[in-house]
Chains A and B, each alone.
Chain A
Amino acid sequence: MNDTRTVFDGITRDNTVLSALMVISPVIVCGNTLKNAVAMIYAFSAITFFSVMISSFVPKRLPYAVKITIYAVISSLIYIPVRLLAQEFYPDSISRIGIYYPLLAVNSLIVFQTEAKFFRMKKLRMTASLFFYIAGFDIVMLITGIVREFLAYGTINSRMTDFDTLISGLAEPFGGFIFLGLFCGIYRRIRSAVMQSRDIRSDGNVSDK
Protein backbone atom coordinates (compact mmCIF):
# COMPACT_ATOMS: atom_id res chain seq x y z
CA MET A 1 0.00 0.00 0.00
CA ASN A 2 1.52 3.32 -0.96
CA ASP A 3 1.56 5.94 1.80
CA THR A 4 0.20 9.13 0.31
CA ARG A 5 -0.65 11.31 3.25
CA THR A 6 -2.23 14.63 2.34
CA VAL A 7 -3.52 17.62 4.20
CA PHE A 8 -7.05 16.39 3.45
CA ASP A 9 -6.59 13.29 5.61
CA GLY A 10 -8.42 14.96 8.47
CA ILE A 11 -11.61 14.79 6.44
CA THR A 12 -11.24 11.60 4.47
CA ARG A 13 -8.67 9.05 5.59
CA ASP A 14 -8.05 9.98 9.21
CA ASN A 15 -11.25 11.64 10.33
CA THR A 16 -11.04 12.92 13.90
CA VAL A 17 -14.31 11.32 14.98
CA LEU A 18 -14.95 8.43 12.62
CA SER A 19 -11.44 7.09 12.29
CA ALA A 20 -9.59 8.10 15.43
CA LEU A 21 -12.74 8.08 17.61
CA MET A 22 -11.62 11.31 19.27
CA VAL A 23 -14.01 13.95 20.62
CA ILE A 24 -16.92 11.55 20.38
CA SER A 25 -18.72 12.54 23.56
CA PRO A 26 -19.90 15.96 22.25
CA VAL A 27 -21.10 14.26 19.05
CA ILE A 28 -23.01 11.61 21.00
CA VAL A 29 -24.50 13.81 23.68
CA CYS A 30 -24.86 17.19 22.01
CA GLY A 31 -25.25 16.29 18.35
CA ASN A 32 -28.99 15.68 18.57
CA THR A 33 -30.17 18.86 16.85
CA LEU A 34 -28.74 21.07 14.15
CA LYS A 35 -28.68 24.10 16.45
CA ASN A 36 -26.67 22.25 19.10
CA ALA A 37 -24.39 20.91 16.40
CA VAL A 38 -23.70 24.38 15.00
CA ALA A 39 -22.97 25.75 18.47
CA MET A 40 -20.53 22.90 19.07
CA ILE A 41 -18.93 23.35 15.68
CA TYR A 42 -18.33 27.02 16.38
CA ALA A 43 -16.79 26.36 19.78
CA PHE A 44 -14.70 23.38 18.71
CA SER A 45 -13.37 25.08 15.61
CA ALA A 46 -12.48 28.33 17.33
CA ILE A 47 -10.94 26.80 20.45
CA THR A 48 -8.98 24.10 18.63
CA PHE A 49 -7.69 26.25 15.80
CA PHE A 50 -6.46 29.16 17.93
CA SER A 51 -5.16 26.92 20.70
CA VAL A 52 -3.06 24.77 18.38
CA MET A 53 -1.80 27.77 16.44
CA ILE A 54 -0.73 29.65 19.59
CA SER A 55 0.63 26.48 21.21
CA SER A 56 2.88 25.92 18.22
CA PHE A 57 5.02 28.81 19.49
CA VAL A 58 5.74 27.07 22.79
CA PRO A 59 9.43 26.06 22.86
CA LYS A 60 9.85 22.42 21.86
CA ARG A 61 12.66 21.73 24.28
CA LEU A 62 10.36 21.98 27.34
CA PRO A 63 9.44 18.69 29.04
CA TYR A 64 6.34 16.98 27.60
CA ALA A 65 4.27 17.35 30.79
CA VAL A 66 5.01 21.07 30.98
CA LYS A 67 4.08 21.58 27.34
CA ILE A 68 0.77 19.75 27.75
CA THR A 69 -0.04 21.90 30.77
CA ILE A 70 0.75 25.05 28.81
CA TYR A 71 -1.47 23.89 25.92
CA ALA A 72 -4.33 23.33 28.36
CA VAL A 73 -3.85 26.77 29.87
CA ILE A 74 -3.80 28.40 26.42
CA SER A 75 -6.98 26.63 25.31
CA SER A 76 -8.69 27.52 28.59
CA LEU A 77 -7.84 31.17 28.01
CA ILE A 78 -9.22 31.00 24.48
CA TYR A 79 -12.34 29.33 25.81
CA ILE A 80 -13.31 32.51 27.72
CA PRO A 81 -13.95 34.85 24.72
CA VAL A 82 -15.38 31.94 22.71
CA ARG A 83 -17.88 31.27 25.46
CA LEU A 84 -18.80 34.96 25.77
CA LEU A 85 -19.47 35.17 22.05
CA ALA A 86 -21.42 31.90 22.13
CA GLN A 87 -23.73 33.34 24.76
CA GLU A 88 -24.57 36.07 22.27
CA PHE A 89 -24.99 33.78 19.24
CA TYR A 90 -26.34 30.53 20.71
CA PRO A 91 -27.84 31.31 24.15
CA ASP A 92 -30.27 28.34 24.07
CA SER A 93 -27.77 25.80 22.89
CA ILE A 94 -25.18 26.73 25.51
CA SER A 95 -27.50 25.85 28.36
CA ARG A 96 -28.50 22.58 26.68
CA ILE A 97 -24.93 21.52 25.95
CA GLY A 98 -23.86 22.14 29.55
CA ILE A 99 -20.57 20.65 30.71
CA TYR A 100 -19.55 19.48 27.22
CA TYR A 101 -18.90 23.07 26.20
CA PRO A 102 -16.02 23.78 28.63
CA LEU A 103 -14.71 20.24 28.06
CA LEU A 104 -13.92 21.21 24.47
CA ALA A 105 -11.03 23.26 25.85
CA VAL A 106 -9.16 20.06 26.65
CA ASN A 107 -10.17 17.98 23.65
CA SER A 108 -7.75 15.34 22.45
CA LEU A 109 -6.90 17.19 19.24
CA ILE A 110 -5.30 19.91 21.38
CA VAL A 111 -3.88 17.80 24.16
CA PHE A 112 -2.49 14.76 22.30
CA GLN A 113 -2.50 15.30 18.56
CA THR A 114 -0.51 18.52 18.78
CA GLU A 115 2.63 16.75 19.90
CA ALA A 116 1.99 13.53 18.01
CA LYS A 117 1.07 15.07 14.69
CA PHE A 118 0.76 18.80 14.12
CA PHE A 119 3.98 20.09 15.66
CA ARG A 120 6.01 17.66 13.59
CA MET A 121 4.88 19.42 10.43
CA LYS A 122 5.99 22.69 8.90
CA LYS A 123 3.86 25.69 9.88
CA LEU A 124 2.00 26.10 6.63
CA ARG A 125 1.24 22.41 6.24
CA MET A 126 0.28 22.24 9.91
CA THR A 127 -2.22 25.07 9.45
CA ALA A 128 -3.78 23.41 6.42
CA SER A 129 -3.83 19.99 8.06
CA LEU A 130 -5.34 21.40 11.27
CA PHE A 131 -8.01 23.16 9.24
CA PHE A 132 -9.05 19.91 7.59
CA TYR A 133 -8.96 17.94 10.84
CA ILE A 134 -11.31 20.49 12.33
CA ALA A 135 -13.45 20.38 9.17
CA GLY A 136 -13.60 16.58 9.52
CA PHE A 137 -15.11 16.96 12.99
CA ASP A 138 -17.44 19.72 11.81
CA ILE A 139 -18.81 17.66 8.94
CA VAL A 140 -19.50 14.65 11.18
CA MET A 141 -21.13 16.86 13.78
CA LEU A 142 -23.28 18.56 11.16
CA ILE A 143 -24.44 15.31 9.57
CA THR A 144 -25.13 13.77 12.99
CA GLY A 145 -27.10 16.82 14.09
CA ILE A 146 -29.23 16.93 10.95
CA VAL A 147 -29.98 13.21 10.77
CA ARG A 148 -30.67 12.76 14.47
CA GLU A 149 -32.90 15.83 14.63
CA PHE A 150 -34.81 14.67 11.57
CA LEU A 151 -35.32 11.13 12.82
CA ALA A 152 -35.90 11.96 16.48
CA TYR A 153 -38.01 15.13 16.27
CA GLY A 154 -39.17 15.19 12.64
CA THR A 155 -37.67 18.66 12.19
CA ILE A 156 -34.68 20.19 10.43
CA ASN A 157 -33.29 23.28 12.14
CA SER A 158 -36.53 23.39 14.17
CA ARG A 159 -38.68 23.49 11.01
CA MET A 160 -41.36 20.83 10.84
CA THR A 161 -41.25 18.17 8.14
CA ASP A 162 -43.92 15.62 7.29
CA PHE A 163 -41.85 12.73 8.60
CA ASP A 164 -44.05 11.12 11.25
CA THR A 165 -42.33 7.87 12.29
CA LEU A 166 -40.22 9.51 14.96
CA ILE A 167 -37.50 7.53 16.72
CA SER A 168 -37.24 9.72 19.80
CA GLY A 169 -34.61 7.42 21.33
CA LEU A 170 -32.12 8.73 18.76
CA ALA A 171 -32.07 12.08 20.55
CA GLU A 172 -30.83 10.36 23.70
CA PRO A 173 -27.14 9.58 24.30
CA PHE A 174 -27.66 5.85 23.70
CA GLY A 175 -29.22 6.71 20.33
CA GLY A 176 -26.15 8.83 19.63
CA PHE A 177 -23.92 5.85 20.36
CA ILE A 178 -25.89 3.65 17.99
CA PHE A 179 -25.95 6.29 15.27
CA LEU A 180 -22.25 7.07 15.58
CA GLY A 181 -21.43 3.36 15.59
CA LEU A 182 -23.31 2.85 12.34
CA PHE A 183 -21.78 6.00 10.89
CA CYS A 184 -18.28 4.76 11.77
CA GLY A 185 -19.05 1.39 10.20
CA ILE A 186 -20.24 2.94 6.95
CA TYR A 187 -17.27 5.35 6.87
CA ARG A 188 -14.73 2.57 7.40
CA ARG A 189 -16.41 0.40 4.81
CA ILE A 190 -16.26 3.17 2.20
CA ARG A 191 -12.69 4.04 3.18
CA SER A 192 -11.47 0.46 2.87
CA ALA A 193 -13.20 0.12 -0.52
CA VAL A 194 -11.54 3.32 -1.75
CA MET A 195 -8.13 2.27 -0.40
CA GLN A 196 -8.51 -1.14 -2.00
CA SER A 197 -9.32 0.32 -5.39
CA ARG A 198 -6.37 2.74 -5.04
CA ASP A 199 -4.06 -0.16 -4.21
CA ILE A 200 -5.28 -2.12 -7.21
CA ARG A 201 -4.68 0.88 -9.44
CA SER A 202 -1.21 1.55 -8.02
CA ASP A 203 -0.29 -2.15 -8.33
CA GLY A 204 -1.32 -2.08 -11.95
CA ASN A 205 0.94 0.90 -12.63
CA VAL A 206 4.02 -0.49 -14.42
CA SER A 207 5.56 2.78 -15.43
CA ASP A 208 9.10 3.66 -14.31
CA LYS A 209 7.88 6.91 -12.78
Chain B
Amino acid sequence: MLKGSRKERFIWLDIMLTLMTLELIAYFYYGVRALVLGGVCLVFCTAGDIISVRLMHRRFTADDLTCTSDALILALMLPAVMDLRIAAIAGLFAVIIAKNVFGGRSNMIFSPAAAAYVFISTSWEKQLLSYPEPHVKTGIFDTPEDLVYSASHFFNISGKMSHNDFEILLGNFSGPCGAVSILLLVVAAVILLLRRDISGGAFTGVISGTVLFAFLTPAAYSRYDSVRYTLVCNMVLFASVYIVADKRIAPERFFYAFFYGFFVGIFSYVIVLTTAEENAIIPVSLLFTPVALGLRNLERKIEFAYAEDTDKDSGSDAEQPDEADEKAAEYAPVSEEVLTEVHADGDTFIQEESDPDE
Protein backbone atom coordinates (compact mmCIF):
# COMPACT_ATOMS: atom_id res chain seq x y z
CA MET B 1 0.00 0.00 0.00
CA LEU B 2 2.85 2.32 0.87
CA LYS B 3 4.49 1.57 -2.43
CA GLY B 4 1.18 2.18 -4.19
CA SER B 5 0.66 5.55 -2.47
CA ARG B 6 4.16 6.65 -3.35
CA LYS B 7 3.60 5.68 -6.96
CA GLU B 8 0.32 7.60 -6.99
CA ARG B 9 2.04 10.69 -5.62
CA PHE B 10 4.80 10.51 -8.21
CA ILE B 11 2.21 10.26 -10.96
CA TRP B 12 0.43 13.28 -9.55
CA LEU B 13 3.69 15.24 -9.36
CA ASP B 14 4.61 14.43 -12.95
CA ILE B 15 1.17 15.39 -14.20
CA MET B 16 1.25 18.60 -12.16
CA LEU B 17 4.60 19.55 -13.66
CA THR B 18 3.30 19.18 -17.21
CA LEU B 19 0.10 21.03 -16.36
CA MET B 20 2.00 23.88 -14.78
CA THR B 21 4.10 24.18 -17.90
CA LEU B 22 0.93 24.47 -19.94
CA GLU B 23 -0.34 27.06 -17.48
CA LEU B 24 2.87 29.02 -18.00
CA ILE B 25 2.34 29.03 -21.76
CA ALA B 26 -1.25 30.15 -21.17
CA TYR B 27 0.16 33.06 -19.14
CA PHE B 28 2.47 33.89 -22.02
CA TYR B 29 -0.44 34.04 -24.48
CA TYR B 30 -3.26 35.42 -22.35
CA GLY B 31 -1.60 37.21 -19.44
CA VAL B 32 -2.30 37.07 -15.75
CA ARG B 33 -5.99 36.28 -16.25
CA ALA B 34 -5.08 32.71 -17.26
CA LEU B 35 -3.07 32.29 -14.06
CA VAL B 36 -5.87 33.68 -11.92
CA LEU B 37 -8.30 31.29 -13.61
CA GLY B 38 -6.04 28.38 -12.70
CA GLY B 39 -5.69 29.73 -9.17
CA VAL B 40 -9.46 30.04 -8.71
CA CYS B 41 -10.00 26.47 -9.89
CA LEU B 42 -7.21 25.28 -7.59
CA VAL B 43 -8.55 27.08 -4.53
CA PHE B 44 -12.16 26.02 -5.01
CA CYS B 45 -11.33 22.42 -5.90
CA THR B 46 -9.10 22.08 -2.84
CA ALA B 47 -11.60 23.80 -0.56
CA GLY B 48 -14.45 21.67 -1.92
CA ASP B 49 -12.38 18.54 -1.48
CA ILE B 50 -11.38 19.40 2.08
CA ILE B 51 -14.98 20.12 3.07
CA SER B 52 -16.46 17.05 1.41
CA VAL B 53 -13.72 14.76 2.73
CA ARG B 54 -14.32 16.09 6.24
CA LEU B 55 -18.08 15.56 5.80
CA MET B 56 -17.32 11.93 4.96
CA HIS B 57 -15.42 11.64 8.28
CA ARG B 58 -12.08 11.17 6.56
CA ARG B 59 -8.82 13.04 6.95
CA PHE B 60 -7.56 15.20 4.12
CA THR B 61 -4.15 13.69 3.36
CA ALA B 62 -1.39 14.46 0.89
CA ASP B 63 -2.92 11.89 -1.46
CA ASP B 64 -6.06 13.99 -1.67
CA LEU B 65 -4.02 16.72 -3.32
CA THR B 66 -4.70 14.95 -6.61
CA CYS B 67 -7.71 17.26 -6.76
CA THR B 68 -5.29 20.02 -7.72
CA SER B 69 -4.38 18.26 -10.95
CA ASP B 70 -8.08 17.98 -11.76
CA ALA B 71 -8.41 21.69 -11.03
CA LEU B 72 -5.62 22.59 -13.44
CA ILE B 73 -6.95 20.26 -16.13
CA LEU B 74 -10.30 22.01 -15.82
CA ALA B 75 -8.74 25.47 -15.91
CA LEU B 76 -6.73 24.62 -19.02
CA MET B 77 -9.85 23.47 -20.86
CA LEU B 78 -11.58 26.81 -20.33
CA PRO B 79 -11.15 30.06 -22.25
CA ALA B 80 -8.62 32.27 -20.48
CA VAL B 81 -11.29 34.93 -19.98
CA MET B 82 -13.88 32.64 -18.46
CA ASP B 83 -15.96 34.23 -15.72
CA LEU B 84 -14.18 33.42 -12.47
CA ARG B 85 -17.47 32.67 -10.69
CA ILE B 86 -18.27 30.01 -13.25
CA ALA B 87 -14.79 28.54 -12.83
CA ALA B 88 -15.37 28.42 -9.08
CA ILE B 89 -18.73 26.67 -9.46
CA ALA B 90 -17.21 24.22 -11.93
CA GLY B 91 -14.35 23.48 -9.52
CA LEU B 92 -16.78 22.73 -6.71
CA PHE B 93 -18.91 20.61 -9.03
CA ALA B 94 -15.85 18.62 -10.12
CA VAL B 95 -14.69 17.58 -6.67
CA ILE B 96 -17.95 17.42 -4.76
CA ILE B 97 -20.43 16.00 -7.24
CA ALA B 98 -18.32 14.27 -9.88
CA LYS B 99 -15.73 12.90 -7.46
CA ASN B 100 -16.60 12.65 -3.79
CA VAL B 101 -20.30 11.83 -4.13
CA PHE B 102 -19.25 8.67 -5.98
CA GLY B 103 -16.74 7.58 -3.36
CA GLY B 104 -13.83 9.95 -3.87
CA ARG B 105 -10.26 9.25 -4.83
CA SER B 106 -10.43 5.50 -4.33
CA ASN B 107 -13.52 5.06 -6.47
CA MET B 108 -13.24 7.36 -9.45
CA ILE B 109 -16.03 6.91 -11.94
CA PHE B 110 -15.69 10.05 -14.02
CA SER B 111 -12.84 12.36 -14.73
CA PRO B 112 -13.89 15.25 -12.43
CA ALA B 113 -12.55 17.84 -14.86
CA ALA B 114 -14.44 16.33 -17.80
CA ALA B 115 -17.67 16.17 -15.78
CA ALA B 116 -17.26 19.80 -14.75
CA TYR B 117 -16.59 20.81 -18.36
CA VAL B 118 -19.79 19.12 -19.51
CA PHE B 119 -21.65 20.77 -16.63
CA ILE B 120 -20.42 24.20 -17.74
CA SER B 121 -21.35 23.44 -21.34
CA THR B 122 -24.97 22.85 -20.31
CA SER B 123 -25.32 26.17 -18.53
CA TRP B 124 -22.77 28.58 -20.01
CA GLU B 125 -22.08 27.22 -23.47
CA LYS B 126 -21.70 30.63 -25.08
CA GLN B 127 -19.06 31.75 -22.60
CA LEU B 128 -17.34 28.38 -22.80
CA LEU B 129 -16.92 28.54 -26.55
CA SER B 130 -15.92 32.21 -26.89
CA TYR B 131 -12.17 32.67 -26.79
CA PRO B 132 -9.79 35.60 -26.84
CA GLU B 133 -7.22 35.82 -29.60
CA PRO B 134 -3.68 34.83 -28.54
CA HIS B 135 -1.61 37.73 -27.17
CA VAL B 136 -4.77 39.63 -26.24
CA LYS B 137 -4.37 40.11 -22.52
CA THR B 138 -7.35 40.82 -20.31
CA GLY B 139 -7.13 42.23 -16.79
CA ILE B 140 -8.25 40.11 -13.87
CA PHE B 141 -11.57 41.89 -13.38
CA ASP B 142 -11.96 43.32 -16.89
CA THR B 143 -14.86 42.33 -19.11
CA PRO B 144 -13.40 40.52 -22.12
CA GLU B 145 -13.91 42.14 -25.49
CA ASP B 146 -13.58 40.98 -29.09
CA LEU B 147 -14.02 37.33 -28.32
CA VAL B 148 -13.88 34.95 -31.26
CA TYR B 149 -14.81 31.37 -32.06
CA SER B 150 -12.08 28.81 -31.75
CA ALA B 151 -10.02 27.51 -34.64
CA SER B 152 -11.69 24.15 -33.98
CA HIS B 153 -15.09 25.71 -34.66
CA PHE B 154 -13.97 26.92 -38.10
CA PHE B 155 -12.32 23.61 -38.86
CA ASN B 156 -15.46 21.68 -37.89
CA ILE B 157 -17.60 23.85 -40.15
CA SER B 158 -15.33 24.41 -43.11
CA GLY B 159 -12.66 21.70 -42.90
CA LYS B 160 -9.99 24.39 -43.15
CA MET B 161 -7.51 26.05 -40.81
CA SER B 162 -5.99 29.42 -41.51
CA HIS B 163 -2.84 28.81 -39.46
CA ASN B 164 0.50 27.50 -40.57
CA ASP B 165 2.18 24.51 -38.97
CA PHE B 166 4.52 26.63 -36.89
CA GLU B 167 1.62 28.54 -35.34
CA ILE B 168 -0.25 25.32 -34.69
CA LEU B 169 2.74 23.74 -32.97
CA LEU B 170 3.23 26.74 -30.73
CA GLY B 171 -0.47 27.07 -29.99
CA ASN B 172 -0.78 30.47 -31.59
CA PHE B 173 -4.46 30.10 -32.42
CA SER B 174 -7.67 30.70 -30.52
CA GLY B 175 -8.95 27.94 -28.30
CA PRO B 176 -8.95 26.69 -24.71
CA CYS B 177 -6.01 28.25 -22.91
CA GLY B 178 -4.09 25.04 -22.28
CA ALA B 179 -5.27 22.71 -24.98
CA VAL B 180 -3.77 24.43 -28.01
CA SER B 181 -0.05 24.28 -27.22
CA ILE B 182 0.44 21.26 -29.44
CA LEU B 183 4.22 20.96 -29.23
CA LEU B 184 4.14 21.14 -25.47
CA LEU B 185 1.31 18.63 -25.31
CA VAL B 186 3.28 16.20 -27.46
CA VAL B 187 6.30 16.60 -25.17
CA ALA B 188 4.08 16.14 -22.11
CA ALA B 189 2.52 13.03 -23.64
CA VAL B 190 5.92 11.50 -24.37
CA ILE B 191 7.22 12.24 -20.88
CA LEU B 192 4.11 10.91 -19.16
CA LEU B 193 4.08 7.82 -21.36
CA LEU B 194 7.74 7.07 -20.71
CA ARG B 195 7.26 7.51 -16.98
CA ARG B 196 4.10 5.36 -17.14
CA ASP B 197 2.03 8.13 -15.58
CA ILE B 198 -0.79 7.78 -18.11
CA SER B 199 -2.34 4.73 -19.71
CA GLY B 200 -0.30 4.02 -22.83
CA GLY B 201 -3.05 1.80 -24.22
CA ALA B 202 -5.80 4.39 -23.86
CA PHE B 203 -3.63 7.17 -25.30
CA THR B 204 -2.55 5.07 -28.28
CA GLY B 205 -6.16 3.94 -28.75
CA VAL B 206 -7.56 7.46 -28.97
CA ILE B 207 -4.88 8.62 -31.36
CA SER B 208 -5.22 5.47 -33.50
CA GLY B 209 -9.02 5.66 -33.65
CA THR B 210 -8.98 9.34 -34.53
CA VAL B 211 -6.22 9.02 -37.11
CA LEU B 212 -7.83 5.98 -38.71
CA PHE B 213 -11.21 7.62 -39.14
CA ALA B 214 -9.77 10.99 -40.06
CA PHE B 215 -7.91 9.18 -42.84
CA LEU B 216 -10.80 6.98 -43.99
CA THR B 217 -13.49 9.68 -43.88
CA PRO B 218 -11.59 12.96 -44.16
CA ALA B 219 -13.02 16.10 -42.60
CA ALA B 220 -10.75 18.31 -44.70
CA TYR B 221 -10.06 18.42 -48.44
CA SER B 222 -7.02 16.16 -48.25
CA ARG B 223 -6.51 13.13 -46.04
CA TYR B 224 -3.23 14.51 -44.73
CA ASP B 225 -4.88 17.76 -43.63
CA SER B 226 -7.77 15.85 -42.15
CA VAL B 227 -5.48 13.75 -39.94
CA ARG B 228 -3.27 16.70 -39.02
CA TYR B 229 -6.02 19.13 -38.12
CA THR B 230 -8.23 16.57 -36.44
CA LEU B 231 -5.46 15.77 -33.99
CA VAL B 232 -4.77 19.39 -33.06
CA CYS B 233 -8.37 20.63 -32.94
CA ASN B 234 -11.24 19.94 -30.53
CA MET B 235 -8.86 19.27 -27.62
CA VAL B 236 -8.18 15.77 -28.98
CA LEU B 237 -4.55 15.71 -27.86
CA PHE B 238 -5.19 17.35 -24.51
CA ALA B 239 -8.12 15.05 -23.67
CA SER B 240 -6.30 11.94 -24.80
CA VAL B 241 -3.41 12.72 -22.44
CA TYR B 242 -5.19 14.05 -19.36
CA ILE B 243 -8.71 12.63 -19.49
CA VAL B 244 -8.98 9.43 -21.51
CA ALA B 245 -5.56 8.10 -20.50
CA ASP B 246 -6.08 8.98 -16.83
CA LYS B 247 -4.83 5.90 -14.97
CA ARG B 248 -7.52 6.26 -12.35
CA ILE B 249 -10.18 5.57 -14.97
CA ALA B 250 -8.68 3.75 -17.95
CA PRO B 251 -8.45 -0.07 -17.87
CA GLU B 252 -5.13 -1.48 -16.65
CA ARG B 253 -4.11 -3.80 -19.41
CA PHE B 254 -2.84 -2.37 -22.66
CA PHE B 255 -5.21 -4.40 -24.80
CA TYR B 256 -8.37 -3.32 -22.99
CA ALA B 257 -7.20 0.26 -22.58
CA PHE B 258 -6.40 0.43 -26.28
CA PHE B 259 -9.91 -0.53 -27.32
CA TYR B 260 -11.45 1.78 -24.74
CA GLY B 261 -9.43 4.68 -26.17
CA PHE B 262 -9.97 3.51 -29.73
CA PHE B 263 -13.74 3.72 -29.44
CA VAL B 264 -13.56 7.07 -27.65
CA GLY B 265 -11.48 8.36 -30.58
CA ILE B 266 -13.83 6.95 -33.21
CA PHE B 267 -17.05 8.14 -31.59
CA SER B 268 -15.76 11.63 -30.90
CA TYR B 269 -14.52 11.94 -34.48
CA VAL B 270 -17.84 10.74 -35.88
CA ILE B 271 -19.70 13.26 -33.72
CA VAL B 272 -17.43 16.10 -34.82
CA LEU B 273 -17.78 15.06 -38.45
CA THR B 274 -21.55 14.71 -38.42
CA THR B 275 -22.63 17.47 -36.04
CA ALA B 276 -19.62 19.84 -35.97
CA GLU B 277 -19.93 19.69 -32.18
CA GLU B 278 -16.89 21.37 -30.66
CA ASN B 279 -14.69 19.40 -28.24
CA ALA B 280 -16.88 16.32 -28.56
CA ILE B 281 -14.16 14.14 -27.08
CA ILE B 282 -14.90 15.44 -23.58
CA PRO B 283 -18.56 14.32 -23.35
CA VAL B 284 -17.72 11.14 -25.26
CA SER B 285 -14.97 10.24 -22.80
CA LEU B 286 -17.46 10.83 -20.01
CA LEU B 287 -20.02 8.59 -21.68
CA PHE B 288 -17.42 5.87 -22.10
CA THR B 289 -16.45 5.74 -18.43
CA PRO B 290 -18.93 2.89 -17.78
CA VAL B 291 -17.08 0.96 -20.50
CA ALA B 292 -13.80 1.60 -18.72
CA LEU B 293 -15.33 0.51 -15.41
CA GLY B 294 -16.74 -2.62 -17.01
CA LEU B 295 -13.37 -3.46 -18.52
CA ARG B 296 -11.63 -2.92 -15.18
CA ASN B 297 -14.08 -5.29 -13.49
CA LEU B 298 -13.55 -7.81 -16.26
CA GLU B 299 -9.79 -7.58 -15.74
CA ARG B 300 -10.21 -8.30 -12.04
CA LYS B 301 -12.48 -11.26 -12.68
CA ILE B 302 -9.96 -12.69 -15.13
CA GLU B 303 -7.18 -12.18 -12.57
CA PHE B 304 -9.18 -14.02 -9.91
CA ALA B 305 -10.15 -16.81 -12.25
CA TYR B 306 -6.53 -17.16 -13.31
CA ALA B 307 -5.33 -17.17 -9.70
CA GLU B 308 -7.91 -19.81 -8.74
CA ASP B 309 -6.94 -22.00 -11.71
CA THR B 310 -3.27 -21.72 -10.76
CA ASP B 311 -4.06 -22.71 -7.18
CA LYS B 312 -6.09 -25.70 -8.34
CA ASP B 313 -3.38 -26.84 -10.75
CA SER B 314 -0.69 -26.64 -8.12
CA GLY B 315 -2.97 -28.45 -5.64
CA SER B 316 -3.90 -31.30 -8.01
CA ASP B 317 -0.31 -32.34 -8.74
CA ALA B 318 0.84 -35.79 -7.73
CA GLU B 319 0.87 -34.83 -4.08
CA GLN B 320 -0.78 -36.73 -1.27
CA PRO B 321 -4.22 -35.34 -0.27
CA ASP B 322 -2.97 -34.31 3.17
CA GLU B 323 -0.12 -32.29 1.70
CA ALA B 324 -2.49 -30.57 -0.69
CA ASP B 325 -4.81 -29.62 2.16
CA GLU B 326 -1.90 -28.22 4.14
CA LYS B 327 -0.85 -26.10 1.18
CA ALA B 328 -4.40 -24.88 0.63
CA ALA B 329 -4.64 -23.90 4.26
CA GLU B 330 -1.32 -22.12 3.95
CA TYR B 331 -2.44 -20.08 0.95
CA ALA B 332 -6.05 -19.49 1.94
CA PRO B 333 -5.46 -16.53 4.29
CA VAL B 334 -3.36 -14.81 1.67
CA SER B 335 -6.06 -14.98 -0.98
CA GLU B 336 -8.67 -13.81 1.54
CA GLU B 337 -6.52 -10.84 2.38
CA VAL B 338 -6.21 -9.96 -1.26
CA LEU B 339 -9.96 -10.23 -1.68
CA THR B 340 -10.59 -8.00 1.32
CA GLU B 341 -8.16 -5.43 0.00
CA VAL B 342 -9.80 -5.39 -3.37
CA HIS B 343 -13.22 -4.81 -1.91
CA ALA B 344 -11.96 -2.18 0.48
CA ASP B 345 -9.89 -0.24 -1.98
CA GLY B 346 -9.85 -0.99 -5.67
CA ASP B 347 -6.60 0.90 -6.15
CA THR B 348 -4.67 -1.32 -3.80
CA PHE B 349 -5.14 -4.35 -5.91
CA ILE B 350 -4.04 -2.55 -9.02
CA GLN B 351 -1.01 -1.11 -7.38
CA GLU B 352 0.15 -4.40 -5.90
CA GLU B 353 -0.16 -6.18 -9.20
CA SER B 354 2.73 -6.17 -11.62
CA ASP B 355 2.44 -3.50 -14.26
CA PRO B 356 0.57 -5.03 -17.19
CA ASP B 357 2.33 -2.79 -19.68
CA GLU B 358 5.63 -4.40 -18.83
Total A-B pairs in contact (CB under 8 Å)? 23
B101 touches A167 (CB 8 A): no
Are the CB atoms of B123 and A169 closer together than 8 Å? yes
Query: With A and B bound together, what is the CA distance between A174 and B97 in angstroms?
Result: 13
Q: Is A182 an interface residue (CB 8 A)?
A: yes
Residues on the B chain within 8 Å of A174, using CB: 122
Q: How far is the CA of A147 from the CA of B101 in the complex (A)?
A: 21
Inter-chain contacts of A168 with B (CB < 8 A): 122-124
Tell me if B122 and A185 are in contact (CB < 8 A): no
A57-73 toward B: CB 8 Å interface, digit per residue (1/0)?
A: 00000000000000000
Most chain A Cβ neighbours within 10 Å, of B83, B119, B122, B123: B123
Minimal beta-carbon separation of A183 from chain B (angstroms): 12
How far apart are the CA atoms of A165 and B87 in the complex, in Å?
11
Chain A contact residue count (CB 8 A cutoff): 14
Residues B101 and A181 in contact, CB atoms below 8 Å apart: yes
- CB of A172 within 8 Å of the partner chain: yes
Q: Restricting to A177-209, which residues have a CB under 8 Å from any CB of B?
A: 178, 181-182, 185, 189
Main secondary structure of the interface of B (DSSP, over half): helix
**With an 8 A cutoff between CB atoms, is B85 at the interface?**
yes
- Determine which of A165, A172, A182 lies in contact with B85 in the assembled complex, contact meaning CB atoms within 8 Å: A165
B55 at the interface (CB under 8 A from A): yes
CB neighbors of B among A50-85 (8 A)? none
B119 and A182 within 8 A (CB): no
Q: Does B89 contact A (CB under 8 A)?
A: yes
B20 interface residue, CB < 8 Å from A? no
- CB–CB B119/A189 < 8 A: no
A166 interfacial contact with B, CB 8 Å: yes
Known: A178-B97, A182-B97, A189-B55. A165 touches B122 (CB 8 A): no
List chain A residues, Cβ under 8 A from B55: 189
> Which residues in chain B, 110-137, are within 8 Å of chain A measured between CB atoms?
119, 122-124
Q: Determine which residue in A166, A169, A170, A172 has the highest number of CB atoms from chain B within 10 A of its CB, and name it.
A: A169
Q: Does B147 contact A (CB under 8 A)?
A: no
**Which residue of chain B has its CB nearest to the CB of A181?**
B101
Q: By the criterion CB–CB under 8 Å, are A169 and B101 in contact?
A: no
B86 at the A interface (CB under 8 A):
yes
Known contacts A178-B97, A181-B101, A182-B97: A172-B122 contact under CB 8 Å: yes
Cα distance A166–B83 in the bound complex, in angstroms = 12
CB distance from A95 to the nearest CB of B (A): 24
Interface of B with A (CB < 8 Å)?
55, 83, 85-86, 89, 97, 101, 119, 122-124
- Extra A-B contacts (17), CB below 8 Å, given A165-B83, A168-B123, A185-B101: A165-B85, A165-B86, A166-B123, A167-B89, A168-B122, A168-B124, A169-B119, A169-B122, A169-B123, A170-B123, A172-B122, A174-B122, A175-B122, A178-B97, A181-B97, A181-B101, A182-B97
Chosen A-B contacts, 19 in total, with CB atoms closer than 8 Å, are A165-B83, A165-B85, A165-B86, A165-B89, A166-B123, A167-B89, A167-B123, A168-B124, A169-B119, A169-B122, A169-B123, A170-B123, A172-B122, A174-B122, A175-B122, A181-B97, A181-B101, A182-B97, A189-B55
